[in-house]
A and B are shown apart, each in its own frame.
Chain A
């Protein structure tokens, strides 16, 4: 069984090893190794478009994850006391949001927003006091955050609801019996219990948004996220710069996970 595990790990990591290997390629092509060099890391970090794309990815991921977690948690809490058709409607919406493939969401969002903008922009220009300075709605940060946040919010609702389902109700009743305000009960009883779920939701939402290509490909407009930048780089003709970017992302993720694990371990030992 151990041999099997080793084989699977090899399968997972050999392609990654090749990526990392060619990131140190002195030659221009990502397919012929021509000597060792770290030039591509320097080039990637100095490339203003890479940094731009990275910045956009981080901002969109953080914003969409925060909004999704906030609204999703609120919705999850409210749904506890909702029955009947409203409940069914929400359940259906969540189900659809998770089940419809990202490409359909991306395309649908694109054509819906384009149609709305085509209709709204002339209107805005007509009613705005200074015609030239009328805001022109277009695809960009807003559409990215909105589209990413949708799927993330559905995820958060599912996770937090699952967490709430496993909560100990008696504690809430006890807290109320002891005279705590609803807010106090929430803050001191409910929240600590569902917090791991909220955190997990936030992290998943962040990861999903940061890594997403399909939806960003359609709705990013003139903005570029890191995955979209990598894609257009591949079309442009792959240089080892892409390998360098990939290896760096890998390294940072590994580092983050190790650090997170270390913190959790310490928490476990202390608590």
Chain B
């Protein structure tokens, strides 16, 4: 690790800095003559914060617009990003990939960064709604340290369109203090049966076709991703039977679980962890029959208005230190070996975040066809409308 700043006096350094700020010299000149360019690139491996500062030498603008999921981001990390770069983070929250796709298809979304799930990326590429990523602008992303299983979906036809953020599972949360002598449910069959009986009026499902239809299909032992009309018909029958017994159809179930208006809900890993941490009686269960395994990515939509800010934010959030802080907040597992090296062991052994192998093997990744299949979309709409 060399530090060549010693042959520049303090005055000379300040003079170069002033010239750079005035615009008389380019960034490249400034970084080169002060040796900061080389120093930073070397230091950067150990200090990710410095890396993003170097990138942000050129102004990235005053804002970055993000489209993401509920309870997914630590506000403190966004505040730190804003403090460092001057760009405020405008967070828009969605409950399903379909809503994100719809907004992008309608055009003019104004998003800079969005968080698609693994099975949607090929569709975004086909529809020309997503930009290929310039990995040189994401120095904090080290492809080698990521588990390929959760990173592969971001690369389509050899081009990287999305970098992995975190992965997770879809199960359900249940408030065990309301069971009243009933055994804790461990399967989707029990989930749906209890909804019709003991937990009537207290169960929630997602406003999201993949998980709601998928887990209804699981009741019958069908594939989570099925688009077979006969199997879908069975699922629809179940869903329509269940609907009067539902508390709500909403992908943002945490508030209702916390207020105990709802006692059970289809849920994602991190929400399960957050709820269990604050209310230990709420447990996260993976249905025995199976369910969804998923990986979420950072991506940049076509025509993002603040592209530099987008890269800066993604780069910032992928730095292992920052990513570890995010994990501590949202409770979703990350496939980055560097992050797992920093996390406390009790988190790595947490069965919610890292389920047992047999449960994990029963899970399926979502399939791209479910996003575009008109029958599944219409089924969900009919179910909501009924």
Contact = CB atoms under 8 A, between A and B. Distances in A.
Interface string A204-247: 00000000000000000111000000001001110000000000
Interface in A124-147: 138-140
Contacts, number: 45
Contacts of A235: 70, 92-95, 252
Interface string B96-111: 0000000000111110
Contacts of B44: none
Given A49-B90, A235-B252, A237-B93, A222 B106 contact: no
A48 interface: yes
Interface residues of B, number: 21
Contact of A237 (B70, B88, B90, B110): B70
Q: Is chain B's binding surface mostly helix, strand, loop or mixed?
A: loop
Given A48-B62, A222-B305, A237-B71, A232 B110 contact: no
A110 B105 CA distance: 11
A48 B65 CA distance: 13
A172 interface: no
B371 interface: no
Given A49-B88, A235-B252, A221 B110 contact: yes
Interface residues of A, number: 17
A139 B92 CA distance: 18
Contacts of A117: 107
A221 B108 contact: yes
A31 B259 contact: yes
A223 to B, nearest CB: 8
A48 B106 contact: no
B62, B63, B107 pick with most chain A CB within 10 angstroms: B107
Contact of B108 (A49, A222, A232): A222
A58 interface: no
A114 B105 CA distance: 9
A231 to B, nearest CB: 10
B108 A138 contact: yes
B252 A48 contact: no
21 contacts: A48-B62, A49-B63, A110-B106, A114-B106, A117-B107, A138-B107, A139-B108, A140-B108, A221-B109, A221-B110, A222-B65, A222-B110, A222-B305, A235-B93, A235-B94, A235-B95, A235-B252, A236-B70, A236-B93, A237-B70, A237-B71
Interface of A: 31, 48-49, 110, 114, 117-118, 138-140, 221-223, 232, 235-237
Interface of B: 62-63, 65, 70-71, 88, 90-95, 106-110, 252, 255, 259, 305
